[in-house]
Amino acid sequence: RAYAGLTSDEWEWTLRFVGTGGESLGAYPEYARLEVEDGRHVLNDREQARRHRMSIGTIVSDAAIVVQYLRGRVLGSIEESFVARLKPGDRFFFGGVPLEFVRVRDMRAWVCRAPNTRGAIPRWMGSRMPLSGELAHLLRARLGEAADGRYRGPELTALEPLLEIQRRWSAIPHADQVLVERVKSRDGWHVFIYPLEGRLVHEGLAALFAYRMSLVQPMSFVMSSNDWGMELLSPDEPPLDAVLDVRNDLFLFSPDKLAEHITASLNAAEMAKRQFRDIARVAGLVFPGFPRSGKTARQLQASSGLFFDVFMKYEPDNLLIAQAHREVLERQLERSRLGTTLQRLAQATVVITEPRRFSPLSFPLLVDRTRNKVSSERLSDRIKRMQLVLERAAG
């Protein structure tokens, strides 16, 4: 049943909201949608009924946001889920150009040219198929077998030469271990962490870890992640030893204060406001329009954003607001898996290595960050050059 999980108070709030508009919208007749007749709640307004029928089966998706210089041309478009995470002053790459985020308004992200070549890397949601918890568990188990020198199956047999180089230069983590690599290069200080939990979880963990390190020592990070782990790059040496001390209140892998820290590390308020647009559509607060005369994403965001601001100011305990925050944490940041992963990492043995060169596990993270930089050298040539250096070192 659709409402089986609602408490009595939540059910009563829902009936009041769709019946009278609730505390915030009670003065507007168009939001008093239900009438009580003979003990039954009925919808008599034909226009409201037609809109409701047209909204059944609504499929919501990320809108595209235009990226434009403050005083200049339009650069292109990017998915809203990425822009919603940015705070003013954050830097990212777009079309190979380092940009600094200024603000977002009317479905348009205003940016300026960044002075350096460090920044986040945007991704399109359709390009990501994150590992499930079960597949991640199996991956850690198979990698643990390789750590013991057992290479079963054609896949691990094919990877044996590469994993042996990983063992020689750094380490191969067992299932009950987490590998942390610290490398110094001309780009700065690299910290590679390999929880082996999948890309989406690693993106949330990277933001969380960078935030906790910055609380110990103010500094900026450039982050990249893949299904194996994450890279945190900083111009100064990060306080890695301090945050890996379990006695520290800001222990890197602590599940305590997860919601507070992940909210602070990302622009959670703006993310919730963007998420509320989809909730407002399903709740019938905004109508996307009829076929061939639909509203634009900008118009929908403006309408739903107004509702969001009104509810936050006059009815902060509104269940739709709570749902927006909950969906951001669960869908975009996978809070439940983040908490489970942190509990596992807190109990795991931390293996810290300081390789003289980048290990095979770290190489894909380097490529992921490098491919978004503008250069007269082709990406394939850069990767071949980096690969040649590592192959020569491996003998």
Q: What is the DSSP letter of 126?
A: G
The amino acid at residue 98 is P
Of 45, 76, 197, the residue nearest 130 (C-alpha): 197
pLDDT at 1: 63
Phi, psi of 223 (to 5 degrees): -120, 145
pLDDT tens sequence across 354-389: 999 999 999 889 887 765 554 444 556 666 766 776
pLDDT at 145: 94
pLDDT at 368: 77
pLDDT in tens, the chain (395 residues): 667 888 999 989 988 888 888 888 888 888 888 888 888 888 888 888 887 787 776 666 666 788 899 988 888 888 777 787 788 888 888 877 889 899 888 778 899 988 866 666 666 554 455 677 888 999 999 999 999 999 998 989 999 999 999 999 999 999 999 999 999 998 899 999 999 998 888 988 998 999 999 999 998 888 888 889 999 999 999 999 999 998 888 899 999 998 888 878 876 677 788 788 888 888 888 877 666 655 555 556 557 888 888 898 888 889 999 998 888 877 777 778 899 999 999 999 999 999 999 999 998 898 877 655 544 445 566 667 667 766 777 76
pLDDT at 376: 44
pLDDT at 299: 57
Q: What is the DSSP letter of 390?
A: H
**What whole-number percentage of the chain has pLDDT above 70?**
84
pLDDT at 35: 86
pLDDT at 127: 46
pLDDT at 172: 96
Of 252, 178, 248, the residue nearest 211 (C-alpha): 252
CB 338 within 8 A of CB 197: no
**Counts of helices then strands in the chain (DSSP H, E):** 15, 12
Q: CA 187, CA 263: separation in Å to the nearest integer? A: 29
Phi, psi of 161 (to 5 degrees): -60, -40
pLDDT tens sequence across 137-151: 999 999 999 999 999
Q: What is the pTM of this model?
A: 0.67
Q: CA 350, CA 275: separation in Å to the nearest integer? A: 36
Of 42, 41, 20, the residue nearest 31 (C-alpha): 20
Of 375, 298, 334, the residue nearest 77 (C-alpha): 298
pLDDT at 148: 93
Residue 325's alpha-carbon distances to 38, 209, 335, in angstroms, are: 37, 21, 11
Phi, psi of 96 (to 5 degrees): 80, 0
pLDDT tens sequence across 204-248: 899 899 999 999 999 888 888 888 999 999 999 999 999 999 888
